[in-house]
Amino acid sequence: MSTIINAYDWVGAAMQSLDNELHWENPEPYKVGCQIMLAWEEYYSTVLGPTPKKSPNLSRAVARWAYLYKYAASHASYIYQLVSKSAELIDLLQSGSRPNITCVGSGAGSDFLGIIKYILKSASSSDPQFLLLDRYDWGETRLSWRTLCPKGIAFTPHFRQIDISEESDWACWQEQLQNTDLFVMSYVLSELHCIKNKATPFLEWLFRNARSNTLFLFLDNGSCGAYWWFDNLANSNNVRPISRSYQDRDELGILIAGQLGMDGDDNKTKSSLLKPYLSIVKNVFSDLRLDMRWPKEESIVAYRISIKR
Ligand SMILES: C[S@@+](CC[C@H](N)C(=O)[O-])C[C@H]1O[C@@H](n2cnc3c(N)ncnc32)[C@H](O)[C@@H]1O
């Protein structure tokens, strides 16, 4: 039986998991709102523009909250849409085997949620082993997903706190990384762009040592240079595109000209879990940045689904 899941439900629950740290009720929501606004401004100013100057700091709960609110549901929805239109990704998830999926820079795990959503909706019996890599621990968020997983479904993501710009952090995980069947890189290359020299050894290693037929799902902001970086790494390591967007204007007819919006399930209701926050944020931000008032619902994206030959 297929299960419909709404990405906003998951994200609302993940945001609730940060409540204890944020003290919405005490001393007053507006103070929390201001902290969030500052965290958001800091986050936004670092990632804005074609060449961000530094990686955002997501070590503080307010920054993680702001990220969840603004981006997590839409990224999960984008990943879900890309997976559900790709014959190769569907084959992998319907094969009955236990594919190994590694999400690089997974953070809140929007990439994980998007794939889980596909599995639940398609009633696939697949039970992938997920390895989520990030330099920040989003432990409270992962715990909250577990409570939302339908009973009897394992979906236990393994998390490794790894800074991929530090070889000493990732070198010991090479064997596990090489066993990957699908690498997901969702909105991470744009964040690493400012430390390109330091991040390239990890990515080079990954592309060079991936087994043949390993799949790569890349998704990022269409207005930054992240997709050039991905294409260069792929070209020089025999990783070939199966489908792609943006520059190619969707030559396989997968999605309209690189633009992605939320899928219908997400739009029908914004979820009772998210609703209390929507009104607080709307009040707090009414005179401030429009960007923060509402979760991202559509954007110009660059995506690639590629395979190692
Ligand atoms: C924009 S978020 C993307 C999160 C998620 N993949 C998504 O699509 O919503 C980028 C993530 O990359 C992580 N990241 C940035 N630099 C990193 C590094 N040097 N090593 C590991 N993770 C990093 C950040 O902590 C953050 O969680």
CATH number, domain containing residue 26: 3.40.50.150
Mutate to test the pocket of ligand 1, among 54, 71, 113, 135 (most ligand atoms within 8 A of CB): 135
Count up the domains in the chain and report the number. Answer: 1
106: Cβ below 6 Å to ligand 1?
A: yes
Element holding 184 (H helix, E strand):
strand 182-186
Atom of ligand 1 minimally distant from the CA of 164: 20
pLDDT at 198: 95
Contact predicate 187/299, CB 8 Å: no
Q: What is the C-alpha separation between 244 and 230, in angstroms, rounded?
A: 12
CA 27 to centroid of ligand 1, rounded, Å: 31
CA 105 to centroid of ligand 1, rounded, Å: 4
Range of the domain at 109: 7-308
Residues 46-82: tens digit of each pLDDT:
655 555 566 777 887 777 887 888 888 889 989 998 9
CA 308 to centroid of ligand 1, rounded, Å: 23
Query: Does residue 128 fall inside a structural domain?
Result: yes
Query: Does residue 81 fall inside a structural domain?
Result: yes
Q: Using CB atoms within 10 A of its CB, is residue 122 exposed (0-12), middle (13-18) or buried (19+)? A: middle
Query: b vs e for 2-22, b when ≥16 Cβ sit within 10 Å of the residue's Cβ?
Result: eeebbbbbbbbbbbbbbeeeb
Residues 30-45: tens digit of each pLDDT:
666 666 667 677 766 6
CA 237 to centroid of ligand 1, rounded, Å: 23
CA 185 to centroid of ligand 1, rounded, Å: 9
Query: Does residue 23 fall inside a structural domain?
Result: yes
Q: What is the C-alpha separation between 193 and 53, in angstroms, rounded?
A: 8
Look up residue 25 and give its two tokens.
């009720």
Query: Does residue 2 fall inside a structural domain?
Result: no
Atom of ligand 1 minimally distant from the CA of 169: 20
Report helix, strand and coil shares of the chain as percent, to nearest 5. 50, 15, 35
Query: Does residue 1 fall inside a structural domain?
Result: no
Look up residue 52 and give its two tokens.
């961000």
Secondary structure (DSSP) of 30-60: HHHHHHHHHHHHHHHHHH-SSS-SS-----S
What residues of the chain score a pLDDT lower than 50? 26, 247-257, 288, 290
Contact predicate 118/5, CB 8 Å: no
Query: Does residue 238 fall inside a structural domain?
Result: yes
Q: What is the C-alpha separation between 75 and 92, in angstroms, rounded?
A: 21
pLDDT at 47: 59
The CA-CA-CA angle for residues 132, 142, 91, to 5°, reads 50
Mutate to test the pocket of ligand 1, among 46, 169, 188 (most ligand atoms within 8 A of CB): 188
Atom of ligand 1 minimally distant from the CA of 192: 16
Phi-psi region of 218 (alpha: psi -120 to 50; beta: other; left: phi over 0): beta
Query: Does residue 150 fall inside a structural domain?
Result: yes
191: Cβ below 6 Å to ligand 1?
A: yes
Q: What pTM was estimated for this model as a whole?
A: 0.89
Residue 304 dihedral angles phi and psi, to the nearest 5°: -140, 140
Which amino acid belongs to residue 260?
L
111: Cβ below 6 Å to ligand 1?
A: yes
User: What residue has token string 């997903």?
Assistant: 145
Long-range contacts, 289-294 (Cβ 8 Å, 24+): 289/37, 289/40, 289/41, 289/44, 291/40, 291/44, 291/70, 292/36, 292/37, 292/40, 292/66, 292/69, 292/70
pLDDT at 257: 37
135: Cβ below 6 Å to ligand 1?
A: yes
